[in-house]
Chains A and B, each alone.
Chain A
Amino acid sequence: MRFYEYESKALFRRHKMPLGQGELASSAEEAKAAAAAIDGPVVMKSQVLSGGRMKAGAVKFADTPDEAAGLFAPIMAAEVSGQTGRSVLVEEKSPVAQEYFLSVTWDGRAKQPVVLFSDMGGIDIEEVAETHPEHLSRTHFSSILPISPRIAKEAVSAVGVSGSDLNRLTPIVFELMKIFLEYDLTLAEINPLAKLEDGRFIVLDGHVDMEAEARGRHKALLAELGVQEEETRQARPPTEFEIQGRQVNEADHRGVAGNVVEFDGNLGLVIGAGGGSLTLFDAVRKHGGKPANYCEIGGNPSVNKACELTKLILAKPGVEKIAVMMNVVSNTRVDIVARGVVKGCIESGKDPKDVIAIFRIPGAWEEEGFKILEKHGVEYCDRSVSMYEAAGRAVAKMG
């Protein structure tokens, strides 16, 4: 779940990170008052859960309180990735000497958090990684063992920063590492982290994502920030398809058939099991397939739940076939899922053998499951066929 910039900064402020003076404004009058309190040039930023604000005209500068008041409405109206502002953050405009990039995120391959640091901040970090790789450091650290400022120092010095700048940046980087771990974040980013003309460093823009499953552990923080329980805080609002997917999952307590995410492809996916969803989704893409959705099934969903999920996916415009694939299952029963998806096809008015491109769920009760699939003429495979190969077979059937 994403935090707005003002919330990210409130979190940073808790940890005494260096921040400029600023106020949140919900009206032109409040924007004027905030600018007057700063008593100097200000930057005004729309509060949206998306990047690209500058290009969208959602960030503007004002030299006077009256100018700030006049800019409030156009900033709020500026559309950024389909979103308009919740409010406007009015901050002092700082005299910047140099911009840095600092981020702590999770490296899925290394299975560790990683500090990304660059002395070329303020611009797209992917571009820096591609064109100036020597200006971007990647420093991993343990999420289990105690961390020390030495790791932060390594991250900064790796791009050639030394002297007093190194000494001033190290505690900021170290604090962000601690914030990342303490609040179960998936991303803690400061871009730009600015060096001011007087040599001080200051957080100009911040972005924080919290692991959605960790919300329960941080109720006090979320309440302090004013985040309501019903706010999903995803990068975009859920689509009707995704809302229906959530309803399918919530309608029956047995097992999981959830986390449905809509894509625009033609191959519907009924996938899951121990990271299998991500692996299979990637495998489909690697084979050139176009997924119509992402989802996660597991925990032994009921026949009804698997059936309703199948019907939802088959009803999605553009879906030609579905691929039913999981890792080897133990607590989910193959025959129960087989019944569900076959039933879902039939209740959708489709022949299972025509619309199920592949059924690859090996594991508990597979003999019973395979009997069901054989009766309905559905192509299936056992664990001797890898998930990657099964995904390839499904994609090959899409023509």
Chain B
Amino acid sequence: MPGMFIDVRVDAAAAKDTELAKKLAEVCPVDIFEAGDAGVSIVEKNLDECTLCDLCLEAAPGKVQVIKLYE
């Protein structure tokens, strides 16, 4: 189920980068990113737990978007 308040999008090309995937999975405090062999995937059930900490934005500048669905 997608988030009710938050959506997170990863640039399509960056999403296949396994190193970046590990980095995103490591920095997110609420486990929104999951690293796998094919790159990064979004854990939808955790989207609304996003704390807007921007650590993912800092880990992958310009490649990740955090969207507030209530704005």
Chain A contacts of B49 at CB under 8 A?
Answer: 302-304
Closest A residue by C-beta to B45:
A304
Q: What 6 new A-B contacts, CB under 8 Å, besides A303-B48, A372-B70?
A: A333-B51, A336-B51, A339-B4, A371-B70, A371-B71, A372-B5
Number of interface residues of A (CB under 8 A): 14
B52 interface residue per 8 A CB criterion:
yes
Chain B interface size range: 10 to 19
Q: How far is the CA of A78 from the CA of B55 in the complex (A)?
A: 63
Chain B contacts of A371 at CB under 8 A?
Answer: 68, 70-71
Closest B residue by C-beta to A339:
B5
Q: Shortest distance in angstroms between B65's beta carbon and chain A's nearest beta carbon?
A: 17
A140 interface residue per 8 A CB criterion:
no
Q: List 17 A-B contacts (CB under 8 A).
A: A302-B30, A303-B5, A303-B48, A304-B48, A333-B51, A336-B51, A339-B4, A339-B5, A343-B4, A343-B5, A343-B48, A346-B4, A368-B68, A371-B68, A371-B70, A372-B5, A375-B70
Q: Can you list the 3 inter-chain pairs with the closest CB atoms, starting with the nearest?
A: A375-B70, A303-B48, A372-B70
Closest B residue by C-beta to A371:
B70
Total CB contacts across the A-B interface at under 8 A: 26
Q: How far is the CA of A138 from the CA of B71 in the complex (A)?
A: 58
Q: How far is the CA of A335 from the CA of B53 in the complex (A)?
A: 13
Q: Which residues of B contact A (CB under 8 A)?
A: 4-5, 30, 48-49, 51-52, 68, 70-71
Q: Which residues of A contact B (CB under 8 A)?
A: 302-304, 333, 335-336, 339, 342-343, 346, 368, 371-372, 375
Chain B contacts of A333 at CB under 8 A?
Answer: 51
User: B4, B30, B49, B70: which has the most chain A beta carbons within 10 Å?
Assistant: B70
Q: How far is the CA of A368 from the CA of B68 in the complex (A)?
A: 10
Chain A contacts of B71 at CB under 8 A?
Answer: 371
Chain A contacts of B51 at CB under 8 A?
Answer: 333, 336
Closest A residue by C-beta to B50:
A303
Q: Does B48 contact A368, Cβ atoms closer than 8 Å?
A: no
Chain B contacts of A346 at CB under 8 A?
Answer: 4
Chain B contacts of A372 at CB under 8 A?
Answer: 5, 70
Chain A contacts of B70 at CB under 8 A?
Answer: 371-372, 375
Closest B residue by C-beta to A368:
B52
Q: Shortest distance in angstroms between A286's beta carbon and chain B's nearest beta carbon?
A: 34
Q: How far is the CA of A371 from the CA of B6 in the complex (A)?
A: 13
Chain B contacts of A336 at CB under 8 A?
Answer: 51
